[in-house]
């Protein structure tokens, strides 16, 4: 069972005067959770969003509680201090934590049992269970009437969906060790493949998924606008391109922490890396350079669960967390940015160039096409399943 220890709870909450509440649910360990926890743990403490009655405003004031799912560890502890407790101070609504690795299996079980115990949950938009839960009608429409005008203008329409709103986005990108390339390293995936001009041991995501295929296509000259959909001929082309770099990959990494550690140890000179891991390493003063050209960006959404015990409070929580100052606190606490672009003026100047919502970085990146990834093929399998089968077969050669 996954839940914070009593020591962790006491340490996280002792200053707030709010008794911690933990509800345990079964979970399994996956790299995504550890990536988010570790990235959040290594970032400097953010400024706390203004938590005043005026900031809460009458329309967000309330009583009782709201049950919010999180990944646990430092991720949830940081959000507690810099987002949840300010929400309670501003509105009078207490945030109750529930912890699990992935929300999807828990939500499926609740739906089947006809009893929903949570109010708010994160779900990755490329998680297969997301589409099934949406089809089952498990998510309430987001009440955008509670949002400040600033938040509505700051959060792009593409992130404000009918029954979900982006909570944060994560990227996988090219990173290199500045010690290996003191005069400047590769600037894109084509140069990652250029072993003559940029020699050195390389790392690459060995788990699979769309990102490694997209990187290879960009290395082979495919323009960003022409990447989707990943048709079979494009997958063939990507795997053929990967044949060229395969002998130069010293280790195919599987866990999020591996490539950064191998870069630090100089076992890699360059590698694909999760942005939160790279950001945390840079904040620790390590000589890591992030390359945003060709980064792939995915999103994880907030959802308000239909039938949850505190739906009205859940809507107020979603409205609060998407305000610019709260969004800036969330980004610093979690290590991954929420969508409100107005938060950029509240973030430390040295952090802005390192995150995916920086307009310069966003213009160079490629967004994952979640709709296509989860769409079913004629054989009944999803495109995600098909890509994974092709990837594993290629790796086995």
- Other beta carbons within 10 angstroms of residue 30's beta carbon come to 12
Per-residue pLDDT at 3? 37
Per-residue pLDDT at 8? 35
Hey, is 99 helix, strand or coil? strand
| DSSP state letter for 152 | H
State the burial class of residue 180 (Cβ atoms within 10 Å of its Cβ: 0-12, 13-18, 19+): middle
Per-residue pLDDT at 24? 36
CA angle 250, 254, 255 (to 5 degrees): 120
Per-residue pLDDT at 22? 37
Listed residue (62, 66, 41, 119) closest to 306, CA to CA: 119
Per-residue pLDDT at 102? 86
Per-residue pLDDT at 38? 52
User: How big is the chain by its Cα radius of gyration, in Å?
Assistant: 21
Residue numbers in the chain where pLDDT is lower than 50: 1-32, 34-35, 42, 51-53
Please state which CATH class domain 172-297+370-396 belongs to.
Answer: alpha beta
d(CA 267, CA 261): 9
Per-residue pLDDT at 55? 52
Is the distance from CB of 93 to CB of 63 less than 8 angstroms? yes
Distance, C-alpha 129 to centroid of its chain = 17
pLDDT in tens, 231-268: 999 999 999 999 999 999 999 999 999 999 999 999 99
d(CA 300, CA 209): 16
d(CA 169, CA 358): 12
| DSSP state letter for 384 | H
**What residues does CATH 3.40.190.10 cover in the chain?**
59-169+299-367, 172-297+370-396
d(CA 240, CA 243): 5
Q: Is the dihedral of CA 280, 286, 289, 295 positive or negative?
A: negative
Q: Helix count (H) and strand count (E) of the chain? A: 18, 10
C-alpha torsion 88→320→277→208, nearest 10: 120
CATH of domain 59-169+299-367: 3.40.190.10
pLDDT in tens, 147-161: 999 999 999 999 999
pLDDT in tens, 171-226: 999 999 999 999 999 999 999 999 999 999 999 999 999 999 999 999 999 999 99
DSSP string, 220-240: TT--GGG--S--HHHHHHHHH
Are β-strands 288-304 and 165-177 bridged in parallel, bridged antiparallel, or unpaired? Answer: antiparallel
Is the distance from CB of 326 to CB of 47 less than 8 angstroms? no
d(CA 213, CA 387): 9
Is the distance from CB of 298 to CB of 214 less than 8 angstroms? no
d(CA 347, CA 343): 7
């Amino acid at each position: 069972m996954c839940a914070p220890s009593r020591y962790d709870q006491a340490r996280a909450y002792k200053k707030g005067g709010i008794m911690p509440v933990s509800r345990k649910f079964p979970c399994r360990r996956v790299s995504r959770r550890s990536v988010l926890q570790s990235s959040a743990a290594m970032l400097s403490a953010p400024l706390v969003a203004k938590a005043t009655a005026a900031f809460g405003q009458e329309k967000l004031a309330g009583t009782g509680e709201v049950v919010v799912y999180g990944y646990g560890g430092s991720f949830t502890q940081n959000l507690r201090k810099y987002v949840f407790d300010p929400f309670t101070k501003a509105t009078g609504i207490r945030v109750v934590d529930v912890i699990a690795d992935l929300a999807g299996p828990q939500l499926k079980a609740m739906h089947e049992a006809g009893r929903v115990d949570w109010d708010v949950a994160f779900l990755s938009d490329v998680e297969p269970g997301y589409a099934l839960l949406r089809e089952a009608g498990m998510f309430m429409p987001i009440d955008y009437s509670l949002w400040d005008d600033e938040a509505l203008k700051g959060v792009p329409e593409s992130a404000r969906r009918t029954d979900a709103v982006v909570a944060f986005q994560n990227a996988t990108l090219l990173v290199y060790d500045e010690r290996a390339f003191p005069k400047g390293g590769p600037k894109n995936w084509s140069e990652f493949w250029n072993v003559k001009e940029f020699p050195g041991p390389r790392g690459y995501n060995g788990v699979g998924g769309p990102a490694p295929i997209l990187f290879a296509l960009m290395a082979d000259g495919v323009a960003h606008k022409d990447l989707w959909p990943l048709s079979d001929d494009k997958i063939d082309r990507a795997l053929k391109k990967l044949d060229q770099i395969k002998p130069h990959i010293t280790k195919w990494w599987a866990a999020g922490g591996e490539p950064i550690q191998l870069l630090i140890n100089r076992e890699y000179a360059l590698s694909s890396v999760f942005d939160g891991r790279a950001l945390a390493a840079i904040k620790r003063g390590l000589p890591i350079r992030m390359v945003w050209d060709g980064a792939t960006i995915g999103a994880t959404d907030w959802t308000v669960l239909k039938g949850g015990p505190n739906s009205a409070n859940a809507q107020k929580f979603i409205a609060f967390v998407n305000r610019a100052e709260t969004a800036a606190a969330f980004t610093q606490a979690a290590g991954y940015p929420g969508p409100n672009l107005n938060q950029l003026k509240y973030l430390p100047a040295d952090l802005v160039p390192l995150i995916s919502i920086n307009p310069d970085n966003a213009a160079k990146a490629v967004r994952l096409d979640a709709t296509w990834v989860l769409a079913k093929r004629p054989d009944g399998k999803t495109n995600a399943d098909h890509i994974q089968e092709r990837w594993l077969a290629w790796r086995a050669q």
